[in-house]
Amino acid sequence: MRATLARRPLLAAALLGWALAVQPLATGVAVAVQPDEMLKDPALEARARAISSELRCLVCQNQSIDDSDAPLAKDLRILVRERLTAGDDDAAVKNWLVARYGEFVLLRPRFEMRTAILWLAPFAVLLLGGVAAWRTLRRKGARASVEAPLTEAEKARLADLLDR
């Protein structure tokens, strides 16, 4: 029995070590940018990485092109770097990609009239939920405070019960 108890901390340490080693691989934190894609200029490369982290992989759809290994993501990363080396600023690169692939290419859509519902819907749902909860609590409070008076038969029965 003591030998089993002595092994538990070792087993726990081994499992923790394994989890820490495997966790980054399981969550996909590895960046997909290949060394042959990187620009020589560190400032331009930093701008390219910043832009790439804000663009959606059109294949994976829930990853940025900076994190995706899909061939289309690689093509988009190369396009971003080509536009930057051509002299475009960050906004021009994003606008060029949006014009070519649509607003969906942005991980965070811009606040415009056609995307307003994406930005305002969560607040509207919270507001409606708050109003519904307030009305429900108000009704319960109103019901609890309004008590009907006892009838004569109920008063007589209560007096009879109290006399016993």
pLDDT tens per residue across span 49-65: 999 999 988 888 788 88
> Under a CB-based contact definition with an 8 Å cutoff, are residues 47 and 56 in contact?
no
Q: Which CATH number fits domain 31-110: 1.10.3720.10, 1.10.645.10, 1.10.8.640, 1.10.533.10?
A: 1.10.8.640
Give the model's pLDDT for residue 18: 59
**Arithmetic mean of pLDDT over the chain:** 80
Is 103 a residue whose pLDDT tops 50?
Answer: yes
Task: Spell out the residues 6+ positions from residue 136 whose beta carbon is closer than 8 angstroms to its own.
Answer: none
CA distance 79 to 73: 10
Looking up tokens 């396009």, which residue turns up? 79
Domain ranges of the chain: 1-29, 31-110, 116-163
- Answer with the residue of higher pLDDT: 68 or 4: 68
- The residue among 28, 51, 30 whose CA lies nearest residue 39 is 51
CA distance 6 to 56: 50
Flag the least confident range among 3-7, 33-37, 142-146: 3-7
> Under a CB-based contact definition with an 8 Å cutoff, are residues 108 and 56 in contact?
no
Helix (H, G, I), strand (E, B) or coil at 129: helix
Give the model's pLDDT for residue 10: 65
For the chain, percent of residues with pLDDT exceeding 90: 24
Give the model's pLDDT for residue 60: 82
Stretch 138-159: mean pLDDT, rounded? 80
Q: pLDDT digits over 112-129, tens only?
A: 888 788 888 999 999 999
Give the model's pLDDT for residue 130: 95
